[in-house]
Structure 1
Amino acid sequence: MILEIVSPEASLFKGEITSITLPGVDGSFQILNNHAPIVSLLQKGTVKITAPSFKFNKEAAPLFTKVNDQNYTLAIASGTIEMKDNKVIVLAD
């Protein structure tokens, strides 16, 4: 599936991923390939991304924390997520 993370300042990430775990307002939840369409609010917490490889733009790279070669995290204050047709869009503060 494709993930796009956008902040008010810039597009932070766009690429192919295998899973994403998000801090929802009612608790953390994970999205995998072929997940049902969903729109949800996010609260302060950590977004966990698993992907075969990562390519960040130079400005966004310092915002992500590397866990290992296939896992990165991103701290957010709040946001919104939409999943539809194997594309995940995260609007994050």
Structure 2
Amino acid sequence: MYLEIVSPEATLFSSEVDSVVVPGINGEFEMLSNHAPIVSILSEGTIKINTHSQSHLVFDELHGDVVPQADDNKVLTLKINSGTIEMNDNKLIILAD
């Protein structure tokens, strides 16, 4: 599935991913490919992005908030204060603050 994470300042992440775990207002939940369409509000917490490979990803100053997890280099993390998500047709868009 394709994931795009957008903040008020910039696009923080944009790539194909295997799965995404987000901090929902009623607890964490995970989305995989072919997930049913969903719109939800996110609470403060950490987004966990499971990638197949990081060879195509760029880690620069603009994308500095997205960091590889210490114990698993295929998992990227991003801390957010709040946000919303929309999943439809294997495209997940996260508007994060």
Number of equivalences: 93
2:84 maps to 80
1:71 maps to 75
Verify the 8 A CA contact 1:12 1:57 in the aligned structure 2. Answer: no
RMSD: 1.2
Is the partner of 2:64 in helix, strand or coil?
Answer: helix
Partner Cα distance (1:72, 1:49) in 2: 5
Query: So what's the TM-score if we normalise by structure 2?
Result: 0.90
Partner Cα distance (1:56, 1:80) in 2: 24
Verify the 8 A CA contact 2:24 2:43 in the aligned structure 1. Answer: yes
CA positional deviation for 1:64 = 1.8
1:49 maps to 49
Partner Cα distance (1:41, 1:56) in 2: 28
> Runs of at least 4 residues of structure 1 off by over 3 A?
none
Partner Cα distance (2:58, 2:74) in 1: 13
Sequence identity (%): 52
Query: So what's the TM-score if we normalise by structure 1?
Result: 0.93
Describe the superposition over 1:31-87 as per-residue Cα deviations: whole angstroms up to 9, x where unpaired: 001000000000000000001123136233321221132111100000000000000
Q: Identify if the C-alpha distance between structure 1 residues 57 and 72 changes in structure 2 by more than 3 Å, giving closer, same or farther.
A: closer
Q: Structure 2 matches for 1:9-28, cutoff 5 A? A: 9-28=9-28
The one-letter code matched in structure 2 to 1:84 is N
